[in-house]
């Protein structure tokens, strides 16, 4: 299009180290971010595929996990390299960057019909050589001749022109830009025509990635530092170890983000198969030297600018890594200037590029010889057969020590579909907003209008999460009174010491624990010397154990307790049918898979083919009705039959894949990872599939077709397995980030249920692409996992948290009864499965101490 004919819209592109953002201003003045696979952030990653073309974005991240030698996650950091080696192919750095910008060009052209004037932001400190690389890449990508705008100028313009920050002409501002891979500090003076750069400095080797690396090194030094497997994680050379390294850094990054909103968290260390406990204090100790380095740079540029402190009107924080609370705290303390923060600092530079009036001087670009920028070739949609599996009862996966909390719990799966309990996050978005202190807003009651858009702008208040008030009996005072009363009863009637709500108190009391141990020894002697792990498999029964017969039980009553508990935490729970009766399978850190009768807690049988903690456990009912079981400890993948656990039908080296679904694929017993469907017995690939870039991946049938469901920030995305493309729109949970996701069939609908960090629970009708029912609110505990079930024909959700279980009606949002299954601290719940006993629904729970219990619903 000729320049004499005005273009319909303008585009501003922020090519970042970790993510690229494009903002569009339409001819009518509307401004919005371009969405890439439903997200405003396009991963800047590039992967070289088998056809010799670069794949960009979420597809690159996905493929890079399998073949990291072909993967470049941060091409902006390679700006000074002439060539980048991807696999066996050397590619000019201009071409790698052009591949990213080409994806931007295509997506924006699809949105607008044609491209308008384009601005690309670059660091203010970059010289002509680096700017030429970007300009050449933009031309090769089809963006034409672009204007280059200094990133701090764009950021300052956004705060002043868009948000309305008060910066009088002649006064100065400081832009503190801490991104994924670089840091820049810039002092600018506001002029009548925009901003003038007074001084700039930064570090190309300092960003969110370096905070992740520092935290990873801290974990390596503090968790089993003498383990000989650590070098395989810290300095991998083999492809399998490179995948472990990628998974480990994902765990570290997510832990860092969770510590921005909580005081402590857990992360799983791949390959070592251990969990590490991290606190915010540890994070701040590790990151403080890095933040202090950025502050010294910032102090230097302020001094170089010649401005006095009183001449600095504002300090603007941009870049995703600036979300860390430590950043604002130390800046305020050292500089004496209160920083201005926004909800989504990673979008400020891109949007500011639309209104910035000062461009850097870069000559007209001449395209460099480059590979034609491209993404993965389109895949012809393959028919996705409907999974078939005999009804086995519904299973809800809850967090356990070997799974990352809060972000990756798939929920209750329908009887015909089993899914794993340890989904692996598929994305590493920016750090979440600061903790909220305001009451959570009600979730939307109608379908979202218009096309999916980026999360709304706004300011999140900072500070600790305010405690929520609940019923007196659930308060600290109420609990203290109940515990005191129970202790008095124990002194009178020692038989009550086994009551479940007193178990932890007795363990913490050395005197009582000793008396109990003596009592247990006497009881074992009377029974012929049976030990904890050498029993006849029968559960204790009777009122003396706090158990209620199921026929007399109401919701929340404990009806059975398995006598032979696991050694260590329960890591997996599944349900199945054996000889026409419902049974429960539990896997533990002890490497055992046990089969239980939930009616009386008796141990039916067990599988002993593993040596490490059970990481995957699922069942598939074959066409003839026989139930095959798949179990894995990360070293070996075993397949065996439920009616013959003494015999391993298939035993092979683990393929290191997280399993998200079990069922019949065209009549063949199979399981699905995030990119392949595999034969259950051989592990051979049946077909390739494509899943979405997000967290909490789950599979569910929607209108008879198997779909993938995941969440990213405040969205739930449903995708087609053949193409990986979103279908049916997205579901937005207001402006708050989703912390857990569950999917399941209930009340005749395919549902997804989400929960935010504030405890707001919302259901979504996946077929209708609209909210379902009334939002619920969990005020009593922090929710870590969800499960969709059906009670009396109505859809409901079980929420698992740091106190136990609670049940909500999804149609009305009302809580059903009181919270139950009380387990906290070291005895917290790690898994649950819902099944039926003689027509009555029960939930079987596992704990971090290896206990297995049955509760009435």
Q: What is the pLDDT of residues 530-585, one digit of tens each?
A: 344 444 343 433 444 689 999 899 999 999 998 778 988 999 999 999 988 999 99
**d(C-alpha 632, C-alpha 841), whole Å:** 29
CA distances from residue 175 to 124, 169, 207, 297 in whole angstroms, order as listed: 11, 16, 15, 12
The DSSP letter of residue 418 is B
* Residue that is written with structure tokens 């809060």 in the block: 406
Mean pLDDT by 10 residues, the chain (857 residues): 49 93 88 89 92 86 85 91 90 94 93 89 89 93 92 93 88 92 91 87 86 93 90 84 84 87 86 89 92 94 90 92 89 90 88 80 41 36 42 40 31 33 30 26 32 31 32 39 43 42 42 42 41 40 68 91 86 92 93 92 92 91 90 91 91 80 91 88 88 80 90 82 80 71 91 87 88 87 89 91 92 91 89 90 92 93
Alpha helices (H) in 47-92, listed in sequence order: 58-66
Total Cβ atoms within 10 A of residue 826: 11
- DSSP states along 186-254: EEEEEETTEEEEEEEEEETT-SHHHHHHHHHHHHHHHSSTT-TTHHHHHS--SHHHHHHHHHHHHHHHH
Q: At what angle do helices 128-140 and 93-112 cross, to 10 degrees?
A: 50
Q: Are 394 and 791 in contact (CB under 8 A)?
A: no
DSSP state of 552: G
Residue recorded with tokens 């401005």: 307
Q: Which 3 state secondary structure label does DSSP give 413?
A: strand
* Cβ-Cβ contacts under 8 Å for 806 (sequence gap 6 or more): 778, 780, 781, 798, 799, 815, 819, 820
Who contacts 237 (Cβ-Cβ below 8 Å, separation ≥6)?
none
Backbone CA torsion sign across 767, 770, 772, 776: positive
Q: CA 839: distance to chain centroid?
A: 36
Structure token digits, residue 624? 């003839």
Query: ∠583-585-589 over CA atoms, to 5°?
Result: 160
Token pair listed for 140? 């090769």
Token digits of residue 607? 């599988």
Is the alpha carbon torsion for 588, 592, 595, 596 positive or negative?
negative
Question: Which candidate, 219, 246, 276, places its Cα nearest to that of 65?
Answer: 246
Residues 6 or more apart whose Cβ sits within 8 Å of residue 120: 12, 13, 14, 15, 101, 134, 135, 138, 143, 146, 147, 148, 149, 353
Q: What is the pLDDT of residue 324?
A: 86
Helical (H) or strand (E) element with 134: helix 128-140
Classify each residue of 534-570 as buried b or exposed e, where b means 16 or more C-beta atoms within 10 Å of its C-beta. Answer: ebebebeeeeebbbbebeebeebbbbbbbbbbbebbb
| DSSP 3-state of 700 | strand
- Spatial contact of 573 and 528, defined as CB atoms under 8 Å apart: no
CA pair distance 269, 79, nearest whole angstrom: 32
The pair of structure tokens assigned to 445 is 């009651």
Closest CA to 853 of 533, 558, 532: 558
Q: 244-257 burial, b if ≥16 CB within 10 A, otherwise e?
A: bbbbbbbbbbbbbb
Strands 395-396 and 42-43: unpaired
Please, where are the H alpha helices in 340-475? Answer: 348-352
Are residues 397 and 785 in contact, defined by beta-carbon separation less than 8 angstroms? yes
Domains and CATH numbers, the chain: 1-145 (3.30.420.40), 161-344 (3.30.420.40), 395-429+496-530+549-856 (2.130.10.10)
Give the Cα separation of 192 and 198 in Å (integer): 15
Nearest to 198 by CA among 220, 172, 176, 216: 172
pLDDT confidence of residue 360: 65
Q: Which two tokens stand for residue 515?
A: 């008396």
Strand pairing class (312-318; 172-178) = parallel
Q: How far is CA 571 from the centre of its chain?
A: 18
Angle at which helices 239-258 and 208-222 pack, to 10 degrees?
Answer: 100
Q: What are phi and psi of 521, to 5 degrees?
A: -65, -40
* Residue 660 φ/ψ region, left for φ over 0, alpha for ψ in the -120 to 50 degree band, beta for the rest: alpha
Q: pTM for the whole thing?
A: 0.46
The pLDDT assigned to 485 comes to 44
* Strand ranges (E), 633-675: 636-641, 644-653, 661-665, 668-672
Q: Cβ(598)–Cβ(560) under 8 Å?
A: yes
CA distances from 816 to 480, 762, 787 (A): 25, 16, 14
Query: CA-CA distance, 261 to 238, in Å (whole number)?
Result: 36
Our separate counts of H helices and E strands in the chain read 13, 46
The rounded radius of gyration (Å) of the Cα atoms in the chain is: 28
């Amino acid at each position: 299009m000729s320049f004499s004919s005005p273009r319909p819209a303008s585009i501003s592109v922020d090519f970042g180290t970790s993510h690229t953002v494009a903002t569009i201003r339409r001819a009518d003045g509307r401004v919005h971010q371009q969405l890439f696979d439903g997200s405003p952030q396009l991963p800047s990653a590039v992967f070289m595929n088998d056809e010799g073309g670069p794949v960009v974005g979420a597809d690159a991240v996905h493929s890079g996990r399998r073949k990291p030698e072909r993967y470049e996650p941060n091409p902006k950091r390679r700006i000074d390299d002439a060539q980048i080696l991807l696999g066996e192919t050397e590619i000019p750095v201009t071409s790698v960057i052009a591949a990213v910008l080409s994806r931007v060009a295509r997506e924006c052209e699809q949105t607008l019909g044609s491209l308008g004037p384009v601005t690309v932001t670059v660091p203010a400190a970059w010289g002509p050589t680096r700017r030429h690389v970007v300009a050449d890449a933009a031309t090769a990508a089809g963006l034409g001749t672009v204007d280059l705008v200094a990133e701090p100028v764009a950021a300052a313009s956004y705060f002043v022109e868009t948000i309305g920050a008060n910066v009088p002409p002649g006064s100065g501002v400081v832009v503190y830009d801490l991104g994924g891979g670089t840091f820049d500090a810039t002092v600018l003076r506001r002029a009548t025509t925009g901003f003038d750069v007074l001084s700039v400095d930064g570090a190309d080797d300092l960003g969110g990635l370096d905070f992740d690396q520092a935290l990873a090194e801290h974990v390596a030094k503090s968790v089993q530092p003498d383990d000989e497997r650590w070098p395989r994680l810290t300095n991998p050379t083999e492809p399998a170890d490179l995948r472990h390294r990628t998974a480990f850094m994902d765990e570290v990054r997510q832990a860092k983000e969770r510590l921005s909103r909580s005081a402590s968290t857990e992360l799983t260390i791949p390959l070592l198969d251990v969990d590490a406990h991290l606190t915010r204090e540890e994070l701040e100790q590790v990151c403080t030297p890095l933040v202090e380095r950025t502050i010294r740079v910032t102090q230097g540029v302020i001094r170089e600018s010649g401005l006095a402190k009183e001449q600095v009107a504002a300090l603007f924080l941009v870049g995703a890594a600036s979300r860390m609370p430590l950043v604002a705290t130390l800046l305020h303390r050292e500089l004496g200037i209160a920083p201005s923060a926004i909800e989504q600092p990673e979008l400020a530079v891109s949007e500011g590029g639309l209104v910035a009036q000062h461009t850097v001087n870069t000559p007209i670009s001449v395209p460099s010889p480059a590979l034609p920028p491209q993404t993965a070739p389109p895949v012809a949609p393959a028919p996705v057969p409907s999974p078939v599996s005999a009804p086995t009862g519904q299973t809800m996966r809850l967090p356990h020590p070997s799974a990352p909390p809060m972000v990756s719990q798939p929920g209750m799966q329908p009887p015909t579909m089993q899914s794993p309990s340890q989904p692996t996050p598929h994305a590493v978005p920016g750090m979440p907003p600061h903790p909220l202190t305001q009451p959570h807003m009600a979730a939307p009651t109608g379908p979202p209008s218009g096309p999916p858009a980026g999360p709304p702008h706004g300011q999140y208040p900072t500070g600790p999460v305010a405690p929520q008030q609940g019923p007196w009996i659930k308060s600290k005072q109420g609990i203290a009174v109940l515990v005191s009363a129970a202790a008095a009863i124990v002194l009178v009637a020692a038989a009550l010491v086994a009551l479940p709500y007193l178990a932890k108190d007795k363990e913490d009391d050395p005197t009582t624990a000793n008396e109990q141990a003596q009592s247990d020894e006497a009881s074992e002697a009377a029974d012929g010397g049976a030990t904890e792990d050498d029993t006849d498999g029968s559960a204790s029964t009777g009122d003396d154990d706090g158990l209620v017969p199921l026929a007399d039980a109401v919701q929340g009553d404990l009806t059975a307790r398995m006598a032979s508990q696991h050694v260590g935490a329960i890591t997996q729970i599944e349900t199945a049918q054996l000889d026409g009766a419902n049974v429960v399978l539990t896997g533990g850190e002890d490497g055992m898979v046990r089969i239980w009768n939930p009616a009386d807690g008796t141990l039916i049988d067990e599988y002993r083919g593993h040596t490490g903690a059970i990481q995957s456990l699922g069942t598939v009912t074959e066409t003839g009705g026989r139930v095959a079981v798949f179990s894995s400890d990360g070293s070996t993948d075993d397949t065996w039959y439920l009616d013959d656990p003494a015999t391993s039908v298939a035993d092979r080296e683990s393929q290191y894949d997280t399993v998200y679904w079990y069922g019949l694929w065209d009549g063949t017993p199979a399981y699905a990872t995030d990119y392949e469907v595999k034969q259950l017995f051989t592990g051979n690939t049946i077909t390739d599939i494509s899943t979405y870039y997000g967290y909490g991946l789950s599979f569910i049938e929607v209108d008879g077709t198997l779909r993938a469901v995941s969440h990213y920030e405040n969205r739930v995305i449903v995708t087609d397995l053949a193409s990986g493309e979103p279908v049916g729109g997205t579901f937005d949970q207001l402006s708050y980030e989703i912390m857990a996701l569950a999917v399941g069939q209930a009340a005749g609908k395919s549902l997804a249920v989400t929960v935010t960090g504030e405890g707001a629970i919302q259901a979504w009708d996946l077929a209708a692409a609209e909210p379902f029912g009334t939002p619920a609110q969990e005020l009593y505990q922090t929710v870590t996992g969800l499960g969709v079930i059906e009670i009396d024909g109505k859809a409901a959700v079980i929420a698992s948290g740091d106190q136990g279980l609670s049940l909500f009606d999804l149609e009305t949002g009302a809580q059903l009864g009181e919270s139950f299954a009380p387990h906290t601290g070291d005895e917290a719940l790690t898994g649950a499965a819902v099944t039926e006993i003689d027509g009555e629904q029960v939930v079987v729970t596992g704990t971090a101490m290896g206990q297995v219990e049955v509760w009435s619903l």
